[in-house]
Amino acid sequence: MATTTLEDEALLLELLNTSPVLDGVPTDELAADEEAAAWATVRGGSGTPAEAAHVREVRDALQSVVRDHETPDVLAPFIDGAAMVPSLVEGTVQWRLEVDPDRVLATRVVLAWADLEETRPGRLRSCGNPECRLFLIDRSHGNRAQWCSMATCGNRMKARRHYERKRQAARAAQRDGALAEG
């Protein structure tokens, strides 16, 4: 049953990426209730404090699961009691999510995560830069994407590797030189 839309996949990634490291400092775009409510409202939420709490909690749980720090069991409470209800609209079956309005966003992201895991396992992962806390969904053919963004982390890590190689080469040259002299 394909119930997850591309929109929900984007929602999932956006939610996972609400705690970026900015100038070396870990931040949380959902830390304040007001900010969390604004974030949710723009994405079809109701903007209530209860919803903000659910969104924050599901974000933390999903981050732990994607980072392999927790098993997916921690996601169970977020879909508990939710139901997908079919109805016939102009000749086609359409599915509607039935759950407490404050939990709609949290349930949608867990369903989007489950759909990704089932249809494209391993495609959702954390950025390869250990100092970055963002996530990516690899949509490339080769499934070798490592960075949340090539422009930021990709180039930074490439530059770092280049620097490390140069430093190692310089050290090796120094050692060889010392051996030759000794």
In the complex, the smallest distance separating the C-beta of residue 28 from Zn ion, rounded to whole angstroms, is: 16
In the complex, the smallest distance separating the C-beta of residue 151 from Zn ion, rounded to whole angstroms, is: 10
Question: Mind spelling out the 3-state secondary structure of the chain?
Answer: CCCCCHHHHHHHHHHHCCCCEECCEECCCCCCHHHHHHHHHHCCCCCCHHHHHHHHHHHHHHHHHHCCCCCHHHHHHHHCCCEEEEEEECCEEEEEEECCHHHHHHHHHHHHHHHHHHHCCCCEEECCCCCCCCEEECCCCCCCCCCCCHHHHHHHHHHHHHHHHHHHHHHHHHHHHHHHHC
The yes or no reply on residue 153 touching Zn ion (CB under 5 A) is yes
Give the nearer residue to Zn ion in terms of CB position, either 79 or 132: 132
CB 8 within 8 A of CB 114: no
- Of 134, 138, 144, 164, the one binding Zn ion by CB under 5 A: 134
- Of 148, 172, 177, 178, the one binding Zn ion by CB under 5 A: 148
In the complex, the smallest distance separating the C-beta of residue 13 from Zn ion, rounded to whole angstroms, is: 13
The yes or no reply on residue 13 touching Zn ion (CB under 5 A) is no
The yes or no reply on residue 37 touching Zn ion (CB under 5 A) is no
In the complex, the smallest distance separating the C-beta of residue 148 from Zn ion, rounded to whole angstroms, is: 3
Ranges within 94-133 binding Zn ion (CB under 5 A) = 127, 129, 132
Binding segment (CB under 5 A) for Zn ion, from list 14-22, 38-46, 145-153, 165-173:
145-153
| Residues engaged in binding Zn ion (CB under 5 A) | 127, 129, 132, 134, 148, 153
